A and B are shown apart, each in its own frame.
Chain A
Amino acid sequence: MGSVAKIMLIDDDDISNFITERKLRNSGVADKIVVYNSGSNALKELGDNLTAGDPWPEIILLDIRMPVMDGFGFLEEFILFPLEHTEKVKIAMLTSSLEKEEVKRSYLYKNVIDFINKPISEDKIRALLEKNL
């Protein structure tokens, strides 16, 4: 399985984050995993990274239903960052949603390469990493 330097996880559900983070660690796909419990906190971090010249995550795992700013709200803001940075980031939706509409809506964004139903498993992580290559 390939691996990346940094994966960012955005989800408001703490327990779900615990599970996802643990699975990511167990599968050893990333040197670093950063977790944010809201889209706005994650956006702020990405902005700060740019200012400080720190590298961005290669992969973002993004929940859809979150209070205040949902996953699509995050995507709308994310694509406003400079293209030279955003084009390198692959995003996978990570959700309990079974809605076909949301799958379609997600793939309208160029960065979105996967739609993963919770809970994440090592197989699903492997499949995602293969898509990233």
Chain B
Amino acid sequence: MQRVRQYHDDRIAGLPAPEFYEYEGLRKDGSRLWLQVRVSKVYEHGVLKGTQTALRDITERKQAEDLLACQNAELKKINSELDRFVYSTSHDLRAPLLSLIGLIDLCKGTDDRLELDSFIHMMEKSAFRLDNTIKEILEYSRNSRMELYYEEVDISNMVAGLLEDIIHHDKAQRVRFTKNIATGIPFVTDRLRLATIMNNLVGNAVKYQRVDEPNPRVDITFSVDEKGGTLTVTDNGEGISANVHEKVFEMFYRNSQNSVGSGLGLYLCKEIVHKMDGEIKLTSESGKGSTFIVKLPNMDFRKSDK
């Protein structure tokens, strides 16, 4: 109120002051409102008769402005992401494609059946890599576009399905998987998004196992209570040194010399977790394996709270 008074006095005294003064106040019921104050002098036949103060409730306009500022910040983020996206896709999509072009050229120059077989094998790998990158980009875009969809999820079933798929990969042959999935309390979440997170974390654990580790293992645990569910994926693989623990979640960041990925996986996980109001944490030491912990709210119990 002090500042409103000051504004009023300045206007009357003819001191430099803006035409309007806007401030945020409290209603009697404790809710907030925005007011616009306008002070003007009233003349009659050229003689100053007094002052007139007008108050206007501008709460709606202010709220609209706030929303606009939020949307603007969001747009700026999307724009700068798009820039990096275009830059990185020029590499990540073109690299396997250019390999294909190079291999086709090599095929033209030989009649040797064995050589041709090896070229075709590499062409196949390049095509799969290209397809994989495109799939990850689509998953990323699906996460930012699609509304969250909550349903009760059978975690044991989800993990079993994931392991069934992953076991077919060459690199999974040596790995021993253990799982410890809590049952009893129902867990309600976005099924597709949780599956994407799980796929990425378990996939990474398999991909970045240590070649010199005689017993590579991946442990998957899931616990659930009224508030939320906690997914933990632990491995004894390459590990991640502490100075890049934040970086691994950045878009297109690839940390491993042996990296075959697009650098989108953990970025995607972070974005999904963020969207679902959860958190993702990493504890790891280079050469000693990694543990990723994902906490997601249990939507069922949230609803019944209200």
Residues of chain A whose beta carbon lies under 8 Å from any beta carbon of chain B? 12-13, 15-16, 18-20, 22-23, 26, 37-38, 65, 67-68, 95-99, 117-121
Contact = CB atoms under 8 A, between A and B. Distances in A.
B87 interface: yes
A22 B263 CA distance: 28
Given A15-B122, A22-B106, A67-B256, A119 B91 contact: no
Contact of A96 (B91, B105, B257, B259): B91
Given A96-B98, A97-B91, 9 more contacts: A19-B102, A65-B91, A65-B95, A67-B255, A68-B256, A96-B91, A96-B94, A97-B90, A118-B102
27 contacts: A12-B259, A13-B95, A15-B103, A15-B122, A15-B125, A16-B98, A16-B99, A16-B102, A19-B102, A19-B106, A65-B95, A67-B254, A67-B256, A67-B263, A68-B255, A68-B256, A68-B257, A95-B91, A96-B94, A96-B98, A97-B90, A97-B91, A98-B90, A98-B94, A119-B101, A119-B105, A120-B102
B91 A19 contact: no
Nearest to B105: A119
B73 to A, nearest CB: 27
A23 B99 CA distance: 13
Interface residues of B, number: 23
Given A96-B94, A97-B90, A119 B257 contact: no
Given A67-B254, A96-B91, A97-B91, A13 B99 contact: yes
Contacts of B257: 12, 37-38, 67-68
Minimum-distance CB pairs A-B, first 4: A119-B102, A67-B254, A19-B102, A118-B98
A37 B256 CA distance: 11
A62 to B, nearest CB: 15
SS class, residues of chain A in contact with chain B: loop
A107 to B, nearest CB: 19
B109 interface: yes
Contacts of A119: 98-99, 101-102, 105
Given A67-B256, A67-B259, A96 B103 contact: no
B218 to A, nearest CB: 22
Nearest to B104: A119
A119 B255 CA distance: 25
A44 to B, nearest CB: 13
B96 to A, nearest CB: 8
Nearest to A18: B122
Nearest to A120: B102
B90 A99 contact: yes
Contact of B99 (A19, A26, A68): A19
Contact of A19 (B87, B90, B103, B255): B103
B109 A26 contact: yes
Contacts of A23: 102, 106
B126 interface: yes
A22 B110 CA distance: 12
A105 to B, nearest CB: 13
A15 B91 CA distance: 15
Contacts of B106: 19, 22-23
